[in-house]
Structure 1
Amino acid sequence: MSGFDGVFGNSPTGYNPPNPSDNGNRFDRPRKRRGRTALIASLTSVVVLLGVGGTAFWAVTAGPLAGVFAPAEDFEGPGTGEVLFTINEGDIGDVIANNLVEAGVIMSFDPFYKLLLEADPQVVFVPGVYTLKLGMSSQQALEALQNSDNLVTVRVVVPEGEVMADILSTISTEAQIPLDEVQAAAADFGAYGLPAEALSLEGFLFPATYEFSPGLSAQEMLQAMVDRCYEALDAAQVAEADRYRVIVFASLVQKESGLKDDFYKVARVFQNRLDQGWNMESDATVAFGTGNTYRVETTSAERADESNPYNTYIHPGLPFAPISNPGDVAIDAVMNPAEGPWMFFVTWNLDTGETIFSETADEHAAGVDIWIAWMDEHPEYQ
């Protein structure tokens, strides 16, 4: 008898009809009930047996087939296309992982977050906007976020001695913000924490190379420049009460100096003149007052113009406001001028910035003659 015959009986249906010769014997009924019970028990045994067999089958085959049936959790390769991804200030690993999934950069949270947990040293993310690809592997995405070449920035270069109007134009061009919007932000100069004497942002937009995140407002960029100026003043140990005067003085030194070492001598000349009660007689201040900020040389008529409030040939003391945005060297020169008796100077070579320093008017006149001769040989500067 086969195994299935033993379970289901001889009938191909698994059920044996009663024998007619039994004539309905009442003792046969329990046997029929036992048959049903045996059938149910037998079927249950089959189900259990098949269940055990199925479990055994899965246990044996699950390992090899898991890679076939389990869903993928990570993309492969460097990805395609391009997407801008932002890491905000204060974003931590799990936030970044979730945001990468939502942006379509990586497939799922776990593989990326596992990389963060296993990283040694610990991964540090720099806030900003990054250029990534869609469908990157977690490893590729993490490496891309650690590569500064993928950090998208708005670069604004502020040269030493540049005036505010030109800086605002640069911000507009590089950040693609309308110029009138940048100018309006600068006009609200009271919003930047300037000294009470300040009449504008002039002098406080520190010269440096700035890397801004896309989307920053003009006010945020200008504030960063002001903050950088205060860092420079603090580094030079300028007292808060002296900030405005130092910036005004340094803006003058910045425009009048050529070679680095001469900054300290120029600062000394102006300080000596102030100490002696002499007018500073700076052509740079006169030129700024005329609106011509691209030259230092002036005419006799301009130097005699009393209506120019920046004319230090006429008006004593420092100019009332900065005439440029000075850098570290100019600030340091004001704080630490060179020792010397000089009362005059003239930059005689405008190509190299070479300058003659003099103690007397006659010595200065001789230096001016050298400058005039050089100018005659270089008409492009006239």
Structure 2
Amino acid sequence: MLKKILIACGLLVLSLLIGVGVLYWQTQTFLTTPAEEQGRDIVLNVVPGQSLDRVAAELEAQGLVSSAHKFRLMVRAKNQGTAIKAGEYLLNTSWPPPQILDMLTSGKVLLHKLSIPEGLTWWQVARLVEKSGLASFDSFDKAVHDPALLARYGITGSNAEGYLFPETYLLPRPRNKNARPIVEAMLKTFRQQARQALPADRMNPKELLRLVTLASMVEKETANPAERFAIAGVYSNRLHRGMLMQCDPTVIYGLGTSFDGNLTRKHLRDATNPYNTYKHKGLPPGPICSPGKAALEAALSPEKHKYYYFVATGENGRHKFSKTLVEHNRAVWKYQIRRRR
């Protein structure tokens, strides 16, 4: 009888050991084996407040783990049930489960490339952002006109025109296509670049507005980097003598999105356009685009010369600079009127 009991106990212990061994083997297999040998990139979006059960189920549904149940057990065993962070993650089906968990708890969310070239208006930037799929045009519009946001960055105008720094950004996808984080990233970058380019005494809001406005005109007037300082010098000379700026891009900006690409004499004679520098002396009310760092530097240190006029030559973005109106009219005839004829 005792022998039978001992045999039964031995068999029970053996079965337990086998069960434990099988469970250990299954656990180790799950921890070390990816869901797929041939890896595929999968973008997983973890929304704020999403439960571990929902995350695990989504991982299994996307083919990133072989078992949602085992993934949950692993997470709880590591006491990381609340460590998974919301965001958009780029994962791969060839990663073992611990690597996937490490990524989800790291907060290293997927970054999207957004390139903003120099010389765009705020609404052109908004269209690029909307085209990227990161945020909506309307939310961008709302953010660039937000008085609280403008005050935080020392912007005195009614919108953030001129302060949306042109740069290539790597950005996480905002929640609900809200452009505010994108606008803030551009404003922060502008502040950093301005502090590098401008002395501290030129960083007060009023002086900064003047510099950015002048820089935006320089940015729109030439695509040739070598001429930026010279063009800034022309506008500086005109301001000093109380002359009209006579800058076509300012007039175009004042026409807004209604401009069809054809600037007419009627437009140049329209005194109701506050940005018409053919009718209103001095700089326009504010920037007309987002200037780059080089244009800001040109506005800060205009070239010293005696030129008051310039006209495009049609050659590699170059201009012909003139000291007198007579010289300028000759240049206009040579490079514009006669060439068109």
Residue 253 of structure 1: aligned partner: 218
Alpha-carbon distance change, 315 to 340 in structure 1, aligned in 2, over 3 angstroms = same
Which of 212, 217, 233 is equivalent to 2:194? 233
2:253 equivalent in structure 1: 288
Distance 1:253 1:287 in 2: 14
Any conservation in 1 of the 2:233–2:303 contact (CA below 8 Å)? Answer: yes
The one-letter code sitting in structure 1 at the alignment partner of 2:158 is: L
Query: Cα–Cα, structure 1 residues 196 and 328, in superposed 2: closer, same or farther, change >3 Å?
Result: closer
Letter in 2 for 1:226: L
Residue 345 of structure 1 is matched in structure 2 by: 310
Tell me which amino acid in the other structure corresponds to 1:274. L
Equivalent pair of 2:309/2:325 in contact (CA under 8 Å): yes
Root-mean-square deviation (CA, aligned residues, Å) is: 4.3
1:223-257 deviation line (CA, Å, top 9, x unaligned): 22222222221121241332211111111111111
CA positional deviation for 1:174: 2.0
What's 2:79 paired with?
none
Deviations 1:257-316 (A, max 9, x none): 120011111111111111222222212212222336675x84444333222211222211
From the superposition, tell whether residues 231 and 100 of structure 1 become closer, same or farther in structure 2 (CA, over 3 Å). Answer: farther
How far apart in 1 are the matches of 2:246 and 2:233?
14
Shifted more, 304-313 versus 44-53: the winner is: 44-53
Secondary structure of 2:158's counterpart equals: coil
Instruction: Tell which deviates more after alignment, 327-336 or 236-245.
Output: 236-245
TM-score (norm: length of structure 2): 0.72
TM-score using structure 1 length? 0.65
Q: Identify the match of residue 129 of structure 1 among 88, 92, 110.
A: 88
| AA matched with 1:209 | T
1:217 aligns with 2:181: no
Q: Distance in 2 between matches of 1:234 and 1:293?
A: 34
Map of 1:29-40 to 2, 5 A cutoff?
none
Residue by residue over 1:94-136, the C-alpha shift from the partner in whole angstroms, topping out at 9 and shown as x without a partner, is xx9xx77984445559999xxxxxxxxxxxxx99622324584
1:206 aligns with 2:161: no
Secondary structure in 2 aligned to 1:205?
coil
**In the aligned structure 1, how far is the partner of 2:305 from the partner of 2:334?**
22
Query: Structure 1 residues 269, 101: closer, same or farther in 2, change over 3 A?
Result: same
Please tell me whether the aligned partners of residues 136 and 179 of structure 2 are also in contact (alpha carbons under 8 angstroms).
no
> What are the Cα deviations for residues 152-204 of structure 1, in whole angstroms up to 9, with x where unaligned?
52x43322111122222222232265544443343334434343531212212
Q: Note if 1:276 corresponds to 2:241.
A: yes
Aligned with residue 372 of structure 1, among 295, 318, 336: 336
Where 1:263 maps in the other structure, the secondary structure is helix
Partners of 1:205 and 1:331 in 2: CA distance: 13
* Partner residue in 2 for 1:161: 119
Q: Percent identity?
A: 24
Alignment partner of 1:270: what SS? helix
- For 1:312, the equivalent position in structure 2 comes to 277
Paired residue for 2:286, among 315, 321, 330? Answer: 321
Q: Secondary structure at the match of 1:70?
A: helix
* C-alpha separation in 1, matches of 2:246 and 2:269: 11
2:43 corresponds, among 75, 80, 84, to 84
- Say if 1:348 and 1:371, in contact at 8 Å, map to a contact too: yes
Change (3 A) 1:374 1:134: farther
In 2, distance between residues paired with 1:79 and 1:128? 25
Cα distance in 2 for partners of 1:376, 1:163 equals 29
| Structure having the higher Rg | 1
State how far apart, in whole Å, the 2-side matches of 1:298 and 1:239 are: 35
Partner of 1:70: 25
1:195 and 1:244 in contact (8 A); partners too: no
Structure 2 distance, partners of 1:264, 1:217, is: 38
| Structure 1: gaps spanning 5 or more residues | 1-42, 89-95, 113-125, 378-382
- Determine if contact 1:163/1:293 at 8 Å carries over to the other structure: no
CA distance in 2, matches of 1:100, 1:54: 35
